Amino acid sequence: MPDLKIQEAKLLFNKIRSNPKSYDLKTSTEGITGKDDKISFKLYRNGERSIFEVTIDGLTFANSTGEWNNAMIMLENIIKKIEKETENSKVQQALDKLKKYLSEEN
């Protein structure tokens, strides 16, 4: 697996963090994954180290510097925030439907 330079990895991470909803972020026991129409990435722990892998055009590049422990925490927090926003939106839609239903005449 070719190396992903730290400068490129940081730029990509900042791009992901600045627009997280466009990357279909998911968290699992294996780590954090995301993708758009051009790249996919995986951020995961391997023992004491965290690894940032990026796949583009069928090639996977990796960076395992010490940068990624905090990055994982940041992305986990972003995912939780997105999930909460989605849940709040669903609750609001349900309340709106209920209000509409209750305002209808029989």
Helix (H, G, I), strand (E, B) or coil at 79: helix
Say how far apart CA 18 and CA 11 lie, in whole Å.
Answer: 11
Phi and psi, residue 59, nearest 5° = -105, 135
pLDDT tens-digit map of 45-83: 988 889 999 999 999 999 998 889 899 999 999 999 999
The two three-digit tokens of residue 89, written as one number: 């939106």
Q: Does pTM surpass 0.85?
A: no
Kindly report the number of other CB atoms within 10 A of residue 53's CB atom: 19
Mean pLDDT of 80-90: 93
